[in-house]
């Protein structure tokens, strides 16, 4: 389980996150939504320890880190906790297969190559596994990045706009994979703009604006938003999608 308490992130004079409180439970999907610049990606970066919070407390799998002060030993956290970033950052000198196989090889998995092949097949990329990232489509790259992340069997998975470049069919396939990961017991946090994805997969929804949680709750808040800010955001999203 991951518990974030009073997470704050300051950069220079700007407060990027303020008073973020979240719980990610095994076997659940939490969707983080909000307008551009709301702090969604920074929330993901702080919860994954890629960026350290300026203040607050973060408990990951029983280890509690307090900020400022603690310097987490990330080698004990990663890759049990892993992420797919919006820009994906597939390593451009490696094929899609090698992108998935390399982390498995470096952690000493004896079945690294077989597992990499299985993961690529699971996301529907077995036919293009020899392609380099620049030879793959946006959707193929997103699925390869997802395969790389799930290949190491993480317990916590953070996904930033994972379906943004996918067509409806591919997005449906990814949704199915994420659902099956949830039933495997993973705690998943998804940053997304897709109401379809949220309505069909999320157990909890967090709406951020200006670095603060404005509203949080179950999927019902999509129908019965309490705050005018979320109501307005949802109406804009519905009008444009």
Partner 1 sequence: MSIFEIIAAYHSAFLSGLLTTLKLSTVIWSAGVTVGALLGVMAHRQPNILGIPTKTASFIMGSVPVLVFLFWLHFPLAELGLRLPPFWSASIALSVVNILAVADIVRHALEEFPQEYLVVARISGLTRNQALRHIQFPLIIRHILPALITTQVTMLQATLFASLISVDEIFRTAQSINARIYRPIQIYTALGILFLLVCGPIQGLALFLKHRFGRKLAELTSR
Residues that bind partner 1 (CB under 8 A): 48, 50, 74-75, 78-79, 81-83, 85, 87, 89-93, 102-103, 106-107, 132-134, 148-149, 152
Residue showing tokens 């990045």: 145
User: In 3-state terms, what secondary structure has residue 212?
Assistant: strand
By the 8 A CB rule, do 28 and 182 touch?
yes
Residue 136 CB, nearest approach to partner 1 (Å):
11
114's enclosing H/E stretch is helix 112-122
Residue 107 CB, nearest approach to partner 1 (Å):
5
Q: Which is nearer to partner 1, 39 or 103 (CB)?
A: 103
Which CA distances in Å does 231 have to 44, 196, 197, 221? 24, 17, 18, 9
Residue 34 CB, nearest approach to partner 1 (Å):
22
User: In 3-state terms, what secondary structure has residue 218?
Assistant: coil
Q: Which is nearer to partner 1, 117 or 141 (CB)?
A: 141
Q: What is the torsional sign of CA 228, 230, 231, 237?
A: positive
Residue 135 CB, nearest approach to partner 1 (Å):
9
The first and second tokens of residue 88, run together, are: 């994906």
Which CA distances in Å does 33 have to 38, 51, 127, 221, 234? 9, 20, 34, 12, 10
The first and second tokens of residue 70, run together, are: 């603690």
User: In 3-state terms, what secondary structure has residue 80?
Assistant: coil
Residue 147 CB, nearest approach to partner 1 (Å):
11
């Amino acid at each position: 389980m991951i518990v974030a308490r009073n997470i704050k992130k300051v950069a220079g004079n700007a407060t990027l996150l303020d008073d973020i409180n979240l719980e990610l439970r095994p076997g659940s999907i939490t969707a983080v939504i909000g307008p551009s610049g709301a702090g969604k990606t920074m929330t993901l970066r702080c919860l994954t320890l890629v960026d350290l919070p300026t203040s607050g407390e973060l408990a990951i799998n029983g280890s509690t880190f307090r900020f400022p002060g603690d310097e987490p030993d990330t080698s004990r956290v990663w890759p049990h906790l892993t992420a797919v970033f919006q820009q994906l950052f597939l390593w451009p000198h490696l094929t899609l297969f090698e992108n998935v196989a390399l982390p498995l090889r470096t952690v000493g998995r004896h079945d690294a190559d077989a597992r990499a092949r299985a993961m690529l097949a699971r996301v529907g990329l077995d036919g293009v596994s020899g392609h380099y990232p620049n030879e793959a489509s946006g959707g193929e790259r997103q699925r390869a990045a997802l395969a790389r992340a799930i290949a190491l069997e993480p317990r916590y998975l953070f996904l930033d706009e994972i379906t943004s470049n996918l067509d409806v069919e591919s997005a449906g396939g990814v949704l199915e994979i994420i659902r099956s990961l949830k039933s495997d017991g993973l705690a998943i946090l998804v940053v997304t703009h897709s109401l379809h994805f949220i309505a069909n997969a999320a157990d909890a929804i967090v709406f951020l604006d200006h670095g603060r949680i404005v509203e949080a709750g179950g999927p019902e808040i999509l129908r019965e938003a309490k705050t005018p800010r979320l109501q307005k955001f949802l109406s804009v999203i519905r009008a444009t999608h």
